[in-house]
Every structure is written in structure tokens, then in C-alpha cells.
DNA sequence: GGTTCAGTGCAACCAAAGGTTGCGAAAGGT
DNA sequence: ACCTTTCGCAACCTTTGGTTGCACTGAACC
């Protein structure tokens, strides 16, 4: 159902700050800890820690450029993460449908047997 | 992009234990803290705390039954959560596609201008 | 009815994660 | 050369997930 790798990806994108960071990197292109921190409600150091987490799970990678470090999204890895999201989503969705169908079936049986 | 309510839902389903708990409740029907803890790698008390979190965001609700507390998934709320998952997923997916398209366009221009 | 047992809740305690401040080091602009 | 900017590291605090221990309560059993 869920592997250790999956959990790492999930916990990486589970944090709202990190999700927003990915959003920003996707929308505005590569950025640094400082540039991202200017658009987030946390300090540069906090952003830096989040970048390290995202880097560790491979969702982003850094490119040193002089005194700056440019981070950008790893598209393949993010695509994998998106796939996992939709996988869990569709699993739950399917189970919800099944439960609903069963509930309706039971209701129908009751109606038939007890005449309403 | 992401509201406070969204973040609550996300952080609720961001935890792997809590995701598994929802899976179990969906698969096996209503359960108690003790019954869930038997199928999870954590103690009953930890499960109980997770149940409290899920209850607080409305993803599950409890039904006292004698000395037991039966928890079950709130289908409507879980459906909302699933919708949020797929929303974020499709947003990222769309941006990835756009980036890919732009990259291909640039590549095509380079090929046209520099003759390969 | 009293004893025993299973399920809960509460409190104390611990470790890890997210966040902050402070500082020193390195690259760039003037 | 000097000042600015960006970064990384270390110390510290708070929240969160996890544990153990204990007291309480509903149900079963004699």
C-alpha cells in the first residue's frame, strides 16, 4: 500500500511551505533560498532546510552559480510524485464509490423487503 | 493557491500512519483505536492521537458504543480531500506540461536558426 | 453482586521536525 | 580595499509523533 520511498515523497510534499516552494519554482523558474524566502512567510534558513529536504528526496536539484545556489524542480521526479498523489486519490475514490454502491444496495433491499 | 483549511486537510492526510488508518477504515469498515493499533506499527495511544487529529479536521467521526468508540470515515469530507489531492496534482501536471512544451519550442527554434 | 478483563483517556516524558536568531565565510559590485 | 549579498553552521525553542504508566469504565463471568 505504501512503501518507504512513497512515504518520503509524501512527507516532502505534505508540508504546505514545501508545496508552495514547488509551486513557486514551477511558476517562476529556478530560484535561490533567498529569493524564495522573500515570497514565503518564513526565514531564509527555514527555506534552506526545506530545500535540503526536497533535494534529498530528489524533487529538486541545486546548481551552484557563483555565490548563489539555483534550485530547480526535477520534472521526472515531480511527475512521479503527482502519480502517487493521484494513485492514492483514485484508490480512496474507488472505495468511496464501492461503499456508496453497497449502501444503496442495502437500502434497496430494505425497501423491497419491508415495503418502505 | 492553498488556504488554511486546505493545509489542515493536507497535513492530516500527509502522515503515512494516518493515510494507512483511513485505508483500513475504508477497507474494513468502522474500527476502534485498539483494533487499528493491532494492524499498525504504533501503540494504541499514538493511534488515538491520530484519530483525534482526523476527527478534528472532520475526516472521520466517532460513535460511542458501550466501552468502545467506533470511528468511521466521513465520506463527504474524504471526497473533498481527494478533490484537493487531484487539484494539486493536476496543477503541477499542467505546469510540467507547459514547461516541457516551452522547452521543446526553444529546442525547435534552435534547430531552425542554427541548422542543427 | 463482586471479580476480572478489555478498551479508553489522561499525564509525563522523549525524540524528531520546523522555525528562529546569531555568526562567520565567500563571492560580487563600487 | 570596502561594503553588500548570499550562504552555511550552530544554538535554541516549540510543536508533533511516539512511548510508558496509571486510573477509570463498561462488559463478561463466576
Per-residue pLDDT tens over the stretch B25-63? 999 999 999 999 999 999 999 999 999 999 999 999 999
Nucleotides of D under 7 A from a protein CB: 5-10, 17-21, 25-27
Is A15 near chain B, with CB under 8 Å? yes
The DSSP 8-state label assigned to residue A98 in this structure reads H
Contact yes or no for A14 and B19 at CB 8 A: no
At A98 the pLDDT is 93
Contact yes or no for B26 and A82 at CB 8 A: no
Asked if residue B17 keeps its beta carbon closer than 7 A to nucleic acid strand D, the reply is yes
At B50 the pLDDT is 98
Average pLDDT over residues A14-30: 96
Q: What is the mean pLDDT of chain B?
A: 92
Q: Which three cell numbers stand for residue A38?
A: 522573500
Q: What is the mean pLDDT of chain A?
A: 92
Residue whose cell numbers read 477504515: B25
Q: Rounded to a whole number, what is the distance in Å from the CA of B99 to chain A's nearest CA?
A: 8
What is the bridge-based pairing of β-strands A68-73 and A60-65? antiparallel
User: Which residues of chain A make contact with B26, given a CB cutoff of 8 A?
Assistant: 92, 95-96, 99
Is A28 near chain B, with CB under 8 Å? no
pLDDT digits (tens, 9 = 90+) for A45-99: 999 999 999 999 999 999 999 999 999 999 999 999 999 999 999 999 999 999 8
At A110 the pLDDT is 87
Average pLDDT over residues A1-14: 82
Within 8 A by CB and 6+ apart from A70, the residues are A30, A31, A32, A62, A63, A64
Give residue A112's pLDDT band: very low, low, confident or very high (50, 70, 90).
Answer: confident
Residue of higher predicted confidence among B7 and A45: A45
Q: What is the pTM of this model?
A: 0.89
Would you say residue B116 has pLDDT above 60?
Answer: no
Q: Whole-angstrom Cα distance, residue B15 to residue A67?
A: 36
Q: Whole-angstrom Cα distance, residue B49 to residue B62?
A: 13
Q: Rounded to a whole number, what is the distance in Å from the CA of B44 to chain A's nearest CA?
A: 21
Span CA (A46) to C1' (D3), Å: 26
Contact yes or no for A92 and B26 at CB 8 A: yes
Residue whose cell numbers read 486519490: A89
Residue of higher predicted confidence among B95 and B113: B95
At A6 the pLDDT is 80
At B16 the pLDDT is 95
Is A19 near chain B, with CB under 8 Å? yes
Residue of higher predicted confidence among A33 and B100: A33
Amino acid at each position: 500500500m505504501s512503501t518507504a520511498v512513497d512515504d518520503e515523497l509524501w512527507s516532502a510534499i505534505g508540508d504546505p511551505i514545501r508545496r508552495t516552494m514547488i509551486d513557486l519554482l514551477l511558476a517562476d523558474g529556478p530560484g535561490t533560498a533567498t529569493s524564495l524566502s522573500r515570497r514565503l512567510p518564513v526565514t531564509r534558513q527555514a527555506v534552506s532546510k526545506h530545500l535540503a529536504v526536497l533535494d534529498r528526496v530528489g524533487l529538486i536539484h541545486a546548481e551552484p552559480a557563483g555565490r548563489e545556489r539555483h534550485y530547480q524542480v526535477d520534472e521526472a521526479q515531480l511527475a512521479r510524485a503527482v502519480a502517487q498523489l493521484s494513485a492514492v486519490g483514485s484508490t480512496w475514490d474507488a472505495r468511496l464509490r464501492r461503499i456508496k454502491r453497497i449502501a444503496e444496495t442495502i437500502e434497496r433491499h430494505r425497501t423491497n423487503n419491508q415495503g418502505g
